[in-house]
Structure 1
Amino acid sequence: MKKPLLGALSASLLAGTAALAGAAPASAASVTAPAVTVDFAGTVALSNCSGWLVRMPGSTASDPALVMTNGHCLETGMPGAGEVVVNQSSNRSFTLLSSTGGRLGTVRASKVAYATMTDTDVTVYQLSSSYATITSRYGIKPLTLSTTHPAAGAGIKVVSGYWKKIYSCNVDGFVYRLKEGEWTFKDSVRYTSACDTIGGTSGSPVVDTASGQVVAINNTGNENGERCTVDNPCEVAADGTVTVRQGINYAQETYSIPACFGPGNKLDLTRAGCVLPRP
């Protein structure tokens, strides 16, 4: 998995951290629609990873804002297989970026609403500010999570707030199970080779260029061609067949996450349709 960066160490010394898995038919509409403009507006830089200011489809301006990144970017360390963190106090800060990647200011967490590396690789922070406050102060609006499965062949952009770099490629396909060390991820997105993401891009939003919505979260890649080891995830098919694709990178789908958040951006793992692992 792609390890988070530490301090100012050179990217050549580090990789990136974690992974996920699924399958759906390609949508001609999503593949052929004109591409929307994708830039850095709403993304954030963490001390060791990337992330973004995110809203659920039902979020309102007065709701406490949320920031999303990988589970393996959690400041208290990577959650173990089967571990789920909910409502944990946090005062982590995030650098909010403009459309061109410039530093606008700092937003701060009040808690970790949810974090896990089981089935998926995600941390959702609740901030001490509302969306309305952030928009008023910085002129920035959050990115919205899609509630539909990404489409094979769709054009995507991986937007790294840490590196201030945007990678462009397509969804190459989906992985039933992606296994990496002790972690197993379900229904992961596999990129075409043009998205050669590196350490520090962990937690970047994967934006569908047709809709402008986030369809996945960047998290891992096979670096050395090893089989199912840390930094070298392997693909496991439904029949148990294992495939190793050196140099190929992956993301975890996010379309099912909105079902787990109710009014006021409140986490509720018992809501209908919520499939995130529970503590």
Structure 2
Amino acid sequence: MKKPLIGASLALLLGGATALAGAAPAAAATKGAAAVAVDFAGTVALSNCSGSVVRLPGSAATDPALVLTNGHCLETGMPSPGQVITNRSSSRSFTLLNSSGGSLGTLRANKVVYSTMTDTDVTLYQLTSTYAAIQSRYGIAPLTLSASHPAAGASIKVVSGYWKKIYSCSVDGFVYRLKEGGWTWKDSVRYTSSCNTIGGTSGSPVVDTATGQVVAVNNTGNEDGERCTENNPCEVDQNGTVTVRKGINYAEETYLIPACFAAGNKLDLNRSGCALPKP
């Protein structure tokens, strides 16, 4: 996985800090259509990862706000294969960013609503603030989670609140199974090579530039060309054929999430159509 920053080497951190300091948002572009401008508004920086304030298509302004990041960014440690965590108390804090990547203030969670590294790699936190309260205090609206499967070839941007850097590329394709160490993820997004994400970008929202909606959450990449080891995921197709793509990075789709929430941003894994793993 694109490991939380605390696990990255000092050389990588120093090199990344130098290279990325003062980085400006990349210009959005979608061939044949006007693209939505993508910036840092609504993204957050965690202590070791990236994330974003997100709403479901049916969320109301008065609902408690949600923050999306990776399962492997969970403050209590990475969930084990097969483990699903729901409705666990949390007091994690997040730095909310404005459109240019400047810090606006601190948001705080009161709950881990959902976290797993099985089939997907996602953590959703519930905040102590509503969307309306965040909008009123900071002038920031949440990003919307798409309820549709991302499209091959779509222009995307990976927005890292930690590094304050935006990566631009396209959806290269989808991976039947992505295996890394003891974890397996289903139907993962493979980026084209220009999204060369690094440690600390874990949990970044992947935004479709045609809609401005979040279609995936950035989570891993093959760093050394190894086969199916930690930080070196491998692709496995329906026939069991393994492919290793050194230097290529991946994300986990988020379109399954909305079906698992009822009114009021209430998690309900027993809802009709909910396909997220259950505890």
CA–CA distance in 1 between the matches of 2:84 and 2:148? 24
What's the counterpart of residue 45 of structure 1? 45
What's the counterpart of residue 255 of structure 1? 255
What's the counterpart of residue 220 of structure 2? 220
Percent identical residues: 77
The number of residue pairs the alignment matches comes to 264
1:233-244 equivalences under 5 Å are 233-244=233-244
Tell me which amino acid in the other structure corresponds to 2:142: P
1:88-107 equivalences under 5 Å are 88-107=88-107
CA–CA distance in 2 between the matches of 1:265 and 1:72? 22
1:13: Cα distance to partner? Answer: 5.6
1:3: Cα distance to partner? Answer: 1.2
- SS at 1:175's partner residue? strand
- SS at 2:227's partner residue? coil
Kindly report structure 1 stretches of 4+ aligned residues shifted beyond 4 Å.
none
CA–CA distance in 2 between the matches of 1:90 and 1:11? 32
Runs of at least 5 residues in structure 1 that lack an aligned partner in the other structure? 15-29
What RMSD, in angstroms, separates the aligned Cα atoms of the two structures?
1.5
2:194 equivalent to 1:194:
yes
CA–CA distance in 1 between the matches of 2:64 and 2:110? 10
1:61: Cα distance to partner? Answer: 0.3
1:32: Cα distance to partner? Answer: 3.5
1:109: Cα distance to partner? Answer: 0.1
What's the counterpart of residue 21 of structure 2? none
Cα shift readout 1:66-114 (whole Å, capped 9, x = no counterpart) = 0000000000000000000000000000000000000000000010000
TM-score (norm. length: structure 2): 0.92
Assess, with a 3 A threshold, how the Cα gap between structure 1 residues 123 and 249 changes in structure 2: closer, same or farther.
same
Contact 2:226 2:232 in 1 (8 A): yes
CA–CA distance in 2 between the matches of 1:159 and 1:249? 14
1:1-279 equivalences under 5 Å are 1-6=1-6, 10=10, 12=12, 32-279=32-279
1:2: Cα distance to partner? Answer: 1.7
Cα shift readout 1:42-63 (whole Å, capped 9, x = no counterpart) = 0000000000000000000000
CA–CA distance in 2 between the matches of 1:247 and 1:67? 28
Contact 2:171 2:191 in 1 (8 A): yes
